[in-house]
């Protein structure tokens, strides 16, 4: 069944009841207005893992929960609450399935594009609690660029730059009360039994670069190192793509041995595929359909990400050794583009035990993803 037919089948019966033309127009306008990068797998290929691969591996929970994002990130509507447009007319919020099927249909309209490299530009962030006189939140920021070569004869490169650390929105007053420091000591959890402290600074750093391909392999998808040719040949139907991805499922997460159910694993792997991998529009559409078929996915309505962009959000809760989190995907339904992949605290422990429910603790926001002939710019 194609996405539009699935969308029609998922349409709530109450939407077919008589309504004035203005209300219908408001609903349609609202519905349509609104790379976690995956390197080649180091355990198999032996490549030093980039910093962004270590972000929040293993954060996140098993039942869908309601959270409202706090000052470190954007905002969401409470689940199942009506959205009110500017003219005060109530607007029906799409279900998660409907939203994902709209994104799937939009993805099919995208141009395949050509070029020697698949170029992805993104901003990554990680929230941390700091402070001596008072406690408050700071955000560590990083800028990433990836050039994935179409030809196996060319090298693929990743360029990363530390963009510095600054107080999270809403934490400025506490930061000033703490003396406006530019250096902080933070506690890092190395494993279940070991913690270490390190000093972090507000100032950024110079960019650095690493080659990310091993032969023709350029990414890790579902626990398997894959080439651009293999990514371009992925199935374009949801059933076949899901079956392909599940071949890599072994009962635990992709970055840890913590137990993980199949739907949580699929949500994670499919999000990675959508965020930064050079796949055909039909594969992106199939990926959204895979997400639409998972249990426990809820609609967030309109969401503002950490870069101030608005989109429609879907989320699924997951539980790991570091507590309970909700993974949220913010999508532009008009284009099918994944804007941001972020983790929101629900009942965190350990490293993020300080985070209030609703705090965005880790995020990847994609600002550009396109085919280009422009060669990698290495520092």
pLDDT digits (tens, 9 = 90+) for 290-323: 999 999 999 999 999 989 999 999 999 988 778 8
% of the chain with per-residue pLDDT over 90: 63
Query: Considering only 60-74, 80-94, 143-157, which range has the smallest mean pLDDT?
Result: 60-74
Which residues are CB-contacts of 309 (< 8 A; sequence separation ≥ 6)?
Answer: 330, 339, 340, 365
Q: Using the predicted structure, report yes or no on whether residue 82 has a pLDDT greater than 90.
A: no
CA torsion 235→3→100→60, rounded to 10°? -40
361 versus 84: the higher-pLDDT residue is: 361
Work out the angle at residue 305's Cα, subtended by the Cα atoms of residues 33 and 134, and round it to the nearest 5 degrees. 155
Residue 295: count of CB within 10 angstroms of its CB: 10
- Provide the 8-state DSSP code for 188: E
Give the predicted TM-score (pTM) of the model: 0.77
pLDDT value, residue 35: 32
Q: Using the predicted structure, report yes or no on whether residue 24 has a pLDDT greater than 60.
A: no
Q: Yes or no: say if 1 and 86 are a contact pair by the CB < 8 Å rule.
A: no
d(CA 351, CA 192): 10
DSSP labels, 263-284: HHHHHHHHHHHHHH----HHHH
With bands split at pLDDT 50, 70 and 90, how would you rate the model's confidence at 4?
very low
Alpha carbon of 210 to those of 137, 156, 287, 347: distances in Å?
A: 30, 9, 29, 36
d(CA 269, CA 260): 12
In the chain the first and final C-alpha atoms are separated, in Å, by 48
E strand or H helix at 102: helix 96-108
Helices (H), 215-261: 228-232, 238-246
d(CA 246, CA 223): 10
Q: Yes or no: say if 142 and 51 are a contact pair by the CB < 8 Å rule.
A: yes
With bands split at pLDDT 50, 70 and 90, how would you rate the model's confidence at 10?
very low
Query: Considering only 45-49, 224-228, 243-247, which range has the smallest mean pLDDT?
Result: 45-49
């Amino acid at each position: 069944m194609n996405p539009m037919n699935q969308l029609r089948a998922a349409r709530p019966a109450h939407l077919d009841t008589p309504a004035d033309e203005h209300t219908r127009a408001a609903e349609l306008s609202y519905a349509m207005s609104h790379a976690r990068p995956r390197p080649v797998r180091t355990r198999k290929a032996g490549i030093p893992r980039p910093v962004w691969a270590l972000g929040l591996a293993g954060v996140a929970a098993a039942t869908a929960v309601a959270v409202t994002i706090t000052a470190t990130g954007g905002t969401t509507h409470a689940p199942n609450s009506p959205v009110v447009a500017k003219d005060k007319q109530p607007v029906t919020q799409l279900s998660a399935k409907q939203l994902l099927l709209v994104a799937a249909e939009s993805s099919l309209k995208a141009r395949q594009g050509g070029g020697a490299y698949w170029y992805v530009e993104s901003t990554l962030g990680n929230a941390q609690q700091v402070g001596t006189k008072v406690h408050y939140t700071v955000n560590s920021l990083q800028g990433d660029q990836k050039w994935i070569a179409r030809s196996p004869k060319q090298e693929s490169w990743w360029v990363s730059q530390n963009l510095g650390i600054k107080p999270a929105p809403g934490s400025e007053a506490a930061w000033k009360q703490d003396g406006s420091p530019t250096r902080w000591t933070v506690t890092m959890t190395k494993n279940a039994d070991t913690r270490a402290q390190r000093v972090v600074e507000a100032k950024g750093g110079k960019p650095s670069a690493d080659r990310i391909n091993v032969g023709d392999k350029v990414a890790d998808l579902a626990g398997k190192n894959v080439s651009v040719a293999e990514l371009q040949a992925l199935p374009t139907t949801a059933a076949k793509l899901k079956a392909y991805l599940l071949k890599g499922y072994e009962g635990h997460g992709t970055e840890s041995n913590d137990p993980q159910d199949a739907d949580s694993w699929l949500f994670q792997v499919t999000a990675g595929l959508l965020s930064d991998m050079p796949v055909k529009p039909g594969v992106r559409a199939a990926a959204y359909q895979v997400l639409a078929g998972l249990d426990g996915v809820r609609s967030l309505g309109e969401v503002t990400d950490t870069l101030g962009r608005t989109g429609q959000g879907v989320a699924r809760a997951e539980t790991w050794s570091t507590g309970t989190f909700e993974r949220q995907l913010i999508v532009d339904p008009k284009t099918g583009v994944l804007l941001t992949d972020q983790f929101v605290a629900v009942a965190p422990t350990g490293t993020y035990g300080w985070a209030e429910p609703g705090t965005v603790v880790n995020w990847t926001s994609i600002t550009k993803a396109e085919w280009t002939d422009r060669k990698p710019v290495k520092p």
